[in-house]
Amino acid sequence: MRNAARRMVGVLAVVGAGWMGGVAHAGAVFEGAKDEAGAMKVLQLPIRTDGPKSLDPVKGSTTYDNMACAQFYETLMTNSYADPMSFEPLLLAEQPVSEDGGLTWRFKLKDGVYFHDNACFPNGEGREIRTEDVFYSLKRLADDQYELENWWLLKDTIKGFDEYKDEQNKAAEFDYDAPVSGFRKINDKEFEIELKQPVYRFLYILGMFQTSVVPREAVEYYGEDFGFNPVGTGPFILDSWVPKQSLTANVNPNYHPVFYPGRDEWTREDRRNRLHRAAGERVPFVDRIEFTMFPEDQPMWLQFSLGQLGYSQVPEDYFLEAFDKASLELKEEMLEKGVRAQSNRLLDFIFRGFNMEDELLGGYSEEKKALRQAIALAIDLEEINQTFYNGRTIVYDGPIPPGLRGHPEDGRSEAAYRGPNLPLARQKLAQAGYPNGEGLPAIRFYTSQTTLNVEMAEMVKRQLEKINVRFEAIFMDFSSLIEAINKKKAPMFGFAWASDYPDGENNLALFYGPNESPGSNHFNYKRDGFDEMYERILTMGPSEERDAIYEEMRDMVLEDVPYVGSQARQRFYVINPWLINCKPTERYYGWFKYLDVDDSKR
């Protein structure tokens, strides 16, 4: 039986990380940063759902898994805090290099990077990372005991890796020591990875939290409970995790040297907001970080208003409490409290998806497509935008958000079935075999339980009633929603996808057949022509030729209607005066280590 020898560790309601305090590495101890009185600096932050479902990066897929895991683990590459659209080394000493046009990449690990002190290591002392840790961590993505949830990131990418995956998953026991021809060790700190062919997104993948570097000792020591006992190289060490309620962590005393961005890296506006004032200082600045999960927005907004959270996304229901609708400027009462605002346009894909394998809503015949087209034509996204987002989302056609190549001009494509167009919707409904809605079962729609989603579902229900289509919303917490979608149990479902990196290929990957659930293709969409074009664009850099293929793929998806959409949000944040260095971003979640607190301003 595979992994039968793994040590099993009991999981409590509150789970500690097994940190062996007091152990230090010579020359590596990081003292943290107390305030002037020597008191601990504690940072309180929100997670705007029921939070992560696991603290094991290979099991993660959501923003909230990312938000938690990024505090404990690190990747080879990362986004820059000053400029989140740019990439820089994190666990690497320097940028990766390729001398053969992106076929073979050479990497050099940073010196002085240690895993957390933990009971899984001899004497509880974390060891320095090495080449084997990188290879081991990537191999975990290929192990089907983790349900291959993130295998799509590296599928058909690294030489010999797909063959290794297939061989090991057929074997009695998965052999992590078996070689992969594309993994070549030079020494403990240097290695090469050879690809099957140059893949434009490869370095982006090495900045995604699912490819975080983990120690084999911890995975084997904790077994199935590793997801409750994270051991990485990150700036914080788990103190406690009460699933769906709270997560706390203390500073890693052996965190390797990482420094706040230099003054010249910040924009003029950032410098006006004094984001540059910690330039060049070593991070993290706080001793402890405390997350609270908020499945509902009202308690989060109340805690922020009372000064108990450092920052908050501004829920739509409370937008006009903080901002003037016309100017989008903070209201005077907020300014009097010292609150600061930040906003950014998300690489956002809000949709209502169909399971293309569902007996009622799936399929590719003209009749099956006509049913989905009818539903799309009856839904009025602009009414949803005006009612629930104060008109601030961008409604657009296709899965590629504004700002990326492949996004249609003015957001419109002739291939789209964008509503409202009720006469055509009724015509399509009859073509699907349900004239005037007769004989059509209720459409079962799965989404997360929030006040906003309940109200939005009522609007969609009302819109579909105009063509006599019944709509039944099923609400659940976010982690249960993702689990249901991953298991293909949701006929129709809704959430948002934030692009992992700034390239439309990432969004087109959501419709690539081999990425079907539990991979990123939650729609379980499968079209041979689409898949062939996707495999072609993987090796292409930005060009007019690639743009043309993006557009063809986009319009193929629009014709088949595996989802109703799309919308992109402008995210607004409010920041309490005691939180320093805060420039919220959703490009990545390793930025909390740059935050500082001034308790005199609480």
Q: Is a pLDDT exceeding 90 seen at residue 220?
A: yes
Give the pLDDT confidence score for residue 35 in this predicted structure.
Answer: 60
The token pair that represents 376 in the structure block: 């799309």
CB-CB contact of 486 with 391 (8 Å): no
Q: Is a pLDDT exceeding 90 seen at residue 527?
A: yes
Give the pLDDT confidence score for residue 1 in this predicted structure.
Answer: 39
Domain at 470, CATH number:
3.10.105.10
* Nearest CA among 123, 124, 191, 152 for reference residue 61: 152
Range of the domain at 538: 348-568
* Nearest CA among 341, 452, 451, 432 for reference residue 443: 432
Residue 465 lies in a domain: yes
- Residue 418 CB-half CA count within 13 A: 18
- If one counts the domains in the chain, the total is 1
Residue 239 lies in a domain: no
| pLDDT tens-digit map of 245-272 | 999 999 999 999 999 999 999 999 999 9
Residue 144 lies in a domain: no
Give the pLDDT confidence score for residue 8 in this predicted structure.
Answer: 33
Of 19 and 554, more confident: 554
Helix, strand, coil abundance in the chain, percent, nearest 5: 30, 20, 50
- Separation between Cα atoms, residue 280 and residue 491, nearest integer Å: 51
Q: Is a pLDDT exceeding 60 seen at residue 20?
A: no
What is the enclosing helix (H) or strand (E) of 352? strand 348-354
CB-CB contact of 275 with 30 (8 Å): no
Helix axes 528-537, 544-560, angle to 10 degrees: 150
DSSP 237-297: EEEEEETTTEEEEEE-TTPPPEEPPPGGGS-HHHHHTTTTTTTT-EE---SEEEEEE-SSH
State the pLDDT confidence band at 479, using cuts at 50, 70 and 90: confident
Average pLDDT of 156-163?
97
- Distance from the first to the final alpha carbon of the chain: 55
What is the enclosing helix (H) or strand (E) of 387? helix 381-388
| pLDDT tens-digit map of 280-334 | 999 999 999 999 999 999 999 999 999 999 999 999 889 999 999 889 999 999 9
Give the pLDDT confidence score for residue 269 in this predicted structure.
Answer: 92
Give the pLDDT confidence score for residue 326 in this predicted structure.
Answer: 87
Paired residues of 238 in beta bridges: 249
Average pLDDT of 138-163?
96
Pairing relation of β-strands 492-498 and 348-354?
Answer: antiparallel
Cα angle 72, 345, 522 (rounded to 5 degrees) comes to: 65
The one-character DSSP state at 411 is G
| pLDDT tens-digit map of 45-92 | 999 999 999 999 999 989 999 999 999 999 999 999 999 889 999 999
The token pair that represents 218 in the structure block: 């911890």
| Amino acid of residue 296 | E
Q: At 575, give phi and psi (nearest 5°).
A: -130, 125
Residue 528 lies in a domain: yes
Q: Is a pLDDT exceeding 70 seen at residue 535?
A: yes
Share of the chain above pLDDT 90, in %: 87
| Amino acid of residue 176 | Y
The token pair that represents 289 in the structure block: 């970080």
Residue 519 lies in a domain: yes
Q: Is a pLDDT exceeding 50 seen at residue 18?
A: no
Residue 549 lies in a domain: yes
Give the pLDDT confidence score for residue 146 in this predicted structure.
Answer: 94
Give the pLDDT confidence score for residue 31 in this predicted structure.
Answer: 56
State the pLDDT confidence band at 39, using cuts at 50, 70 and 90: confident
Q: How far is CA 461 from CA 32, 445, 493, in A?
A: 53, 10, 14
Residue 330 lies in a domain: no
State the pLDDT confidence band at 7, using cuts at 50, 70 and 90: very low
Average pLDDT of 381-406?
94
CB-CB contact of 141 with 153 (8 Å): yes
Residue 523 lies in a domain: yes
The chain-wide mean pLDDT, for the chain, equals 92
pTM recorded for the entire structure? 0.84
Give the pLDDT confidence score for residue 36 in this predicted structure.
Answer: 61
Q: Is a pLDDT exceeding 80 seen at residue 37?
A: no
Q: Is a pLDDT exceeding 50 seen at residue 2?
A: no
Give the pLDDT confidence score for residue 573 in this predicted structure.
Answer: 97
Q: Which residue has the tokens 């010579």?
A: 26
- Separation between Cα atoms, residue 89 and residue 109, nearest integer Å: 9
Cα angle 73, 79, 80 (rounded to 5 degrees) comes to: 115
